[in-house]
Each structure stands twice: as C-alpha cells, then as structure tokens.
Amino acid sequence: MKYFFGLTFILGYILHVSSLICYYGISDSSLPLLALDTTVTGNRCGNDTCVCSSYKFVCTSDDSRCSTQQQQTQVQKSVWTVLARATCLQMGLNLTSFTSVTCCSTNYCNNQNLNAAISIKFNSYLYLFLITLTFYVLYCHSHGYQ
C-alpha cells in the first residue's frame, strides 16, 4: 500500500501530460465556462484526435441552444468545446453556418472571445488528489483507523 500513493501520483502526471485541456461552454449561458480535460471526456472524438475549438454561430429557428427571442433576432453566439479534428476542420469550411472557427491542440488554446466569460480551471492534479484521498480514506476505514 505504501507504493500506491507514488504510483497514483505518477499515473496522474502521465495523464496530465498526455491530456488536452480546453475551454468548454457557450456565450450568454447561465452556466460558467469550464476547462475540460480530454482524459475525462470518454470517447468524445471517436478514433480521431481531439482538438480544442471555438467558433461563432447565428441562432436559427431550430437551434435548441438559443431562446425563442434569440432565434427571432438571430443573435450571434460563441462556443468553446472539444471536437474531433476532422469535424472541426469541416466546420471551418462551412462559412454559412460557422464563423471564426479555431481548431488547436495546446492547453487552453481555444480562448478566443473570452473577455466576458467566467473561467474555472480544473487541473488534472486536482483529480489525482481526490482519487488518492478517496483511496486513503477507504484504506483507513477498512483497517479500522479513524
């Protein structure tokens, strides 16, 4: 058990180095803009490489990301997300639906138009700490330590 904490730290470091951290959210949303670590998003990009992306779109009558008023006035919104590289590049070619498309592959690189957004950064080390703490508490509890 004494080696477990060191191994957990090393695993967390490897995940942190090999992951991509992107901003995730939509402008004019009641939710804050988050920083999303691609190692915890599951198979979001399929067999393709994940990239950070930001783009703008105009609200249309069938867009669930927009209110009825925003649809009627055709408000322009910004999006920050994680996409498969091929999807992002295809969006960049579709200038009638999307503008200012950015596809990038370094941490926090999709920060275009973030001047009004609230950012909460989650670090891989926080996940590592929480996992280690959980295992420590479970270990102590199972061995009768209080």
pTM (2 d.p.): 0.64
Residue 86: the pLDDT is 94
Strand order in the sheet with 76-84: 98-104, 50-58, 76-84, 21-26, 33-37, 119-120
Angle, CA of 71, 72 and 77, to the nearest 5°: 40
Pairwise CA distance, residues 38 & 19, whole Å: 6
Residue 13: the pLDDT is 42
Q: Tell whether the model's pLDDT for residue 108 goes beyond 60.
A: yes
Give 11-60 pLDDT, tens digit per residue.
Answer: 444 444 457 888 888 887 655 567 766 665 556 787 888 899 999 999 99
